[in-house]
Amino acid sequence: MGWLRIREMVRKEFIQLFRDRAVRSIIVMTPLIQLLVFGYVVNYDIKNIRVSLIDEAQTRESRFLIDSLTAGGVFQVASIPASAGDMEKLFLEGKADLGIRIPPDFSNLIRRGKTANIQVLADGGMSNMAAVRISYLSAVIDRFNTSIIHELYNRDLSYGRIDARIRTWYNPNTDSQKFFVPGILAFILMLISMLLTSIAIIREKEVGTMEQLIVTPIKPIELIIGKTIPYIVIALGQAVVITPLAIFWFDIPLAGSVLDLFGAACLFLLSTLGIGLFISTVSKTQQQAMMTTFFFVLPFFMLSGFVFPISNMPIIVQWLTYLNPLRYFLVIIRGVFLKGVGLDVLWEQYAALAALGMVVFAGAIKRFHKRLE
């Protein structure tokens, strides 16, 4: 193994990369923009539920219901349409999340101890959001019912009931950013390391300089190492820049240790660089390399638990996710950031990541080697 040759190879690669102003700015800007945009966009917090309201009763009770609805600040009466037809139009235009229509005989029924039906219309477009909105509304109505019953019966109804104390661990305010921003770090690392590696090698082939490299005294293994080191350095460099940004800009406290994070990132890069190398051996053009990369990146992204929970997937697909390095890395990065756990609790994830990384990387090197000879 000639360290000198590897060093020269690394130097050549860096010069080639940074000579291009566009590449320079891409390497710096892409992760920053991705982190900022992703960080603000991925947000499932329920706030500002736009209610379209028709109050045909206009009584003390109906106003009490509306007040208890808007008291928490989550529901906002966004529109007061004149008719049911107008309300439906607002829904078609996407200007309301919930529509509530209180019938004229609302108070009469309630005062006589009967049940008043109110009409609720929900936009089910984004079903996950709709489910939460509906249950928020049900909770408000439950509370309203309890106070009305107390008022009506005017006697002590202190029956034995359960008072649920719901506590949320790891992310007490269920803040979306705390969950997604660490995942974004993982995603950016994956995209950059996979795409840049495969494209850089293919470019060498396309331009024809690969032939020249092969006839130099550099050995295949040295060539591979020299080719991958720059991308390890770039990917880790990006991680070093964007992690503090995530911590300070988005105010995500790092509960665990930086070292655990760094170790996991290195193991993760083993897999992604390996896949990048592999793609470069099976592709002839940059176009092919890019499409093949996307063929890997998209399922990795979707089957990792990043946005879509793994436990929701069919069991066969759940097994498939065990082949996905991003899955393990996400568990680790979220565990370290939110739960403050480390290698001691997550050692299985580290082991899986290491095993996967070594198999992929070794396989890629072997294939690359053969291609060169």
Partner 1 sequence: MKTKNITAIARKEFYHLLRDFRSLYLAFAIPLLLILLFGYALSLDVNHIETIVVDREKTDLSRDFISSLEASPYFQIIERADSMKAVINALDHGRARLAIVIPVGWTADLRADRKTTMQVILDGSDPNFAGISSSYISGLIARYNGNLLADFLNRHGMQKISPPVNPQIRVWFNEEMESRNFIIPGIIAIIVIIVAALLTSLVIAREYENGTMETIRSLPIGAGEFLLGKAAPYFFIALTDVLIAVLMGQMLFGIVMKASFWLMLLASSLYIIVALTLGLLISSVTKSQMTANQTAILITYLPSLLLSNFVFPVTNMPVVLQAITKIIPATYYIEILSGIYLKNLGFGLLWPDLLVLLVMSSLLALLNYLVLRKEGF
Binding to partner 1 by CB under 8 A, coded x per residue (else -) over 46-85, reads xxx-x--------------x--------------------
d(CA 175, CA 44): 9
Number of residues in contact with partner 1 under rule CB under 8 A = 121
211 to 270, contacts with partner 1 by CB under 8 A? none
Q: Is 51 helix (H, G, I), strand (E, B) or coil?
A: strand
Smallest Cα–Cα separation from 336: which of 183, 172, 227? 183
CB 319 to partner 1: min, Å: 11
Regarding 22 and contact with partner 1 (CB under 8 A), the answer is yes
What tokens appear for 36 in the block? 């900022």
Structure tokens at 291: 């499409």
Residue 153 touching partner 1 (CB under 8 A): yes
Question: Which stretch, 45-53, 216-224, 249-257, 269-277, contacts partner 1 (CB under 8 A)?
Answer: 45-53
Q: Does 129 bind partner 1 (CB under 8 A)?
A: yes
Element (H, E) at 44: none
Cβ 299 to partner 1 shortest distance, Å: 7
Span 83-122, contacts to partner 1 by CB under 8 A: 91-94, 109-110, 113-122
Task: Name the strand (E) or helix (H) holding 243.
Answer: helix 220-249
Among positions 321-360, residues that touch partner 1 (CB under 8 A) are 331, 334-335, 338-339, 341, 345
Q: Which is nearer to partner 1, 207 or 214 (CB)?
A: 207
Neighbouring-strand partners of residue 55: 102
- Specify the amino acid at residue 81: P
Q: Cβ of residue 327: shortest distance to partner 1, in angstroms?
A: 11
Q: Which is nearer to partner 1, 70 or 286 (CB)?
A: 286
Which residue from 104, 98, 140 is spatially nearest to 120, judged by alpha carbons? 98
Residue 49 DSSP one-character state: E
The span from the CA of 66 to the CA of 117, in Å, is 15
